[in-house]
Amino acid sequence: MTTTTPTSPQAAAAARAVTTRRPAPRHRGYARRTYPLWFYVPAAIVFGVLFVVPTFASFYFSLTRWTIFDSEFIGLGNFQQFFSEPALVKGLTNTLVFGVVTSAGKVVLGMALALLLTAPVVARGYLRSVVFFPVLVSTIGVGLTFQVLMNPTEGLINRVLGAVGVDGPAWLVDPSIALLSVAAVDVWKGLGLAVVIYIAGIVSIPAEYFEAARVDGAGWWQQFRSIILPLSMPATSTVVLLSLIGGLRSFDLIWAMTRGGPGFTSDTIASVIYKQYQAGFYGLSTAGNVVLFLVVAALAFPLSRYFNRREVNL
Amino acid sequence: MRRPGAWLLGGVGIVLTTVLFVVPFLFIFLQAGKTAEEARLLEFSWPSEWAIVENVRAVFEARDYMLVIAFINSTILTVASVSVLVVLGSMVAFVLQRRRSRLNPVVDFLILSGLIIPPAVVPTIWVLQGMGLFRTMLGLVLVEVAFGMAFVVLLIRAFVSTIPRDLDEAAIIDGAGPVRLFFRVILPLLKSVIVTVVVVQSVAVFNDFANPLYFLPGDENATVQLTLYNFQSQYSTQYNLLFTNILLITIPPLVMFLFFNKRIVAGMTAGAVKG
């Protein structure tokens, strides 16, 4: 079979256009018999029962005091609590900070590393592998490792900083930067994915553009500003969307590194959901789920629309 | 860029990335090789005597061979959920790509939702409880299938469009039904994308922490990620064993990475860039 190589979306669209223009050689009912809709059924049952039903149920149960077996309707009480208790409000703002900071970090550093790794430097393959590998490693393992590396006195990071005369911060123990420390580790772990997405974007830019720019006397910075940056917009939108959705939902890393501490200064909605679940406040926990749903949806859906428009305009 | 600056830049880049990305793994390895007293110092140093064999044995034996049971549990979970995902996901992807029906926009919307919406935790437990599947391996497998379905369908659907429809027609003319067509003709042709899906999803399920934590609690049900967590509290000062455990559960993803590096990158970027 020589047909298994993936074709570009444009080619696929063209092929589809051709097949639809051709008068259908098949008799009526061909599609119905060849591609039966019951193929959807097994997947739809699992997805429906364990994803769609809980999602809809969460809207109701978030309005109740709930013990799994009984629920008592209490209106918006859970949400009121969610937006009035400082610990829970902190979780909401932290979630936004964490999502934005990690996305920004992955975009900037991902782009920088991708530029380095598409340039003709030695040991390119080695570097790409080294940067990508953390993506595949257990988040909990990474979290516990960095918890040790970020130890304020004994940790490797502050020892190295101390050796060059810098007084390192207390990282996870300092309430004012605990969340940002976790965000830094999240960037470290997820950067590899951003880099490979950017590399795919940059190598797909036709070489003629760079040649033409060089003939016109454009320097490195101008080439970056006027060619690479706009033409890797699809890659940027992918990186932003992926890391934003991942960052807003992030639980494993925060739980492994700080458990939301010190106090509740690095709690996010996801860790609040778990804490309230453990404490037996199922209704409140589910309200947290609904808030998280609204936050993610409110950011992700418009962003994907915005990026789609930008790409068309290019 | 044949300037000396490129060499310098490359050199700095190599040194920086090595320090930032290799040192943490080297640290894990060195800590796993140390004795308990030496590991407690948390120094980035060569072990004065290698105790890795003893550490591995101690980690496996701890808490009645909990890690062995966890590896078995994780293997069952990964193999079962990824197999089900591949079969059900490619059935959906096949019909979705081939047949235009009024359901298509609905399915597209469900895929987008599945990718974006965070699963509702306690309501999922409630549903599992209602079916008698809470705290069961089957329940967790189905949860992993439900949560992974959107990504798998997205990935496979893009590939189905590269298989010519003429093959379907030929098979039907030869008297095959839809089931035979799918399992005998289409599924074998999807091999290359299925390998990608299997590798990417296996790593994801194997590394999953939150879902086993919520839906399959209990020591006897632990998956490998949870043993890591249990270890930390039990050996709060025995860093050598903690890092040995981290090292051991990093091996399966490392093997996947060594053999399927290109596939993993292709799968993750393809699924992403589609958007």
The interface predicted TM-score of the complex, written ipTM, equals 0.89
**Interatomic CA distance for residues A203 and A185, integer angstroms:** 28
**Interatomic CA distance for residues A285 and A303, integer angstroms:** 27
Q: Which positions ≥6 away from B164 have C-beta within 8 Å?
A: A3
**Interatomic CA distance for residues A237 and A241, integer angstroms:** 6
Rg (CA), chain A: 25
In a domain, A37, yes or no: no
With contacts defined as CB-CB under 8 Å, which chain B residues touch A193?
268, 272
Q: Are A192 and B269 in contact (CB under 8 A)?
A: no
- Determine the residue type at A162: G
Residues 13-52 of B with CB under 8 A from A: 13-14, 17-18, 20-25, 27-28, 31, 41-42, 44
- The domain in which residue A148 lies consists of 89-313
A139 to chain B: nearest residue by CA? B207
- What tens digit of pLDDT does each residue of B164-189 get? 999 999 999 998 899 999 999 999 99
Q: Are A131 and A192 in contact (CB under 8 A)?
A: yes
In a domain, A203, yes or no: yes
Query: What would the two tokens of residue B258 be?
Result: 């060594």
**Interatomic CA distance for residues B170 and A107, integer angstroms:** 48
Nearest to B249 among A12, A141, A270 (CB): A141
Residue A71: phi and psi, rounded to 5, are -135, 140
- What tens digit of pLDDT does each residue of B46-63 get? 888 888 898 999 889 888
Query: What would the two tokens of residue A262 be?
Result: 């010190």
pTM of the model: 0.87
Q: Are B139 and B81 in contact (CB under 8 A)?
A: no
**CB of B266 within 8 Å of any CB in chain A?**
no
CB pairs under 8 A between A and B: 288
Angle value at C-alpha B150, between B147 and B151, nearest 5 degrees: 95
**CB of B259 within 8 Å of any CB in chain A?**
no
Confidence check: pLDDT of A311 > 70: no
Q: State the CATH number of the domain containing residue A188.
A: 1.10.3720.10
**Interatomic CA distance for residues B83 and B251, integer angstroms:** 22
Interface test with chain A among B82, B116, B241, by most A beta carbons within 10 Å: B116
In a domain, A24, yes or no: no
Answer yes or no: do B122 and A293 touch at CB < 8 A: no
Section A167-182 average pLDDT: 91
In a domain, A273, yes or no: yes
In a domain, A247, yes or no: yes
Distance of residue A273 Cα from the nearest chain B Cα, in angstroms: 8
- What tens digit of pLDDT does each residue of A273-300 get? 999 999 989 999 999 999 999 999 999 8
DSSP string, A271-301: HHHHHHHHTT-HHHHHHHHHHHHHHHHHHHH
In a domain, A248, yes or no: yes
Please, which pLDDT band fits residue A75 given cuts at 50, 70 and 90?
confident
- Cα distances from A113 to residues A118, A156, B257, in angstroms, run 9, 24, 20
Largest separation between any pair of C-alpha atoms in chain A: 80
Distance of residue B122 Cα from the nearest chain A Cα, in angstroms: 6
Q: Is A66 helix (H, G, I), strand (E, B) or coil?
A: strand
**Interatomic CA distance for residues B188 and B194, integer angstroms:** 9
Distance of residue B51 Cα from the nearest chain A Cα, in angstroms: 19
Domains in chain A, number: 1
In a domain, A10, yes or no: no
**Interatomic CA distance for residues A225 and A231, integer angstroms:** 10
In a domain, A16, yes or no: no
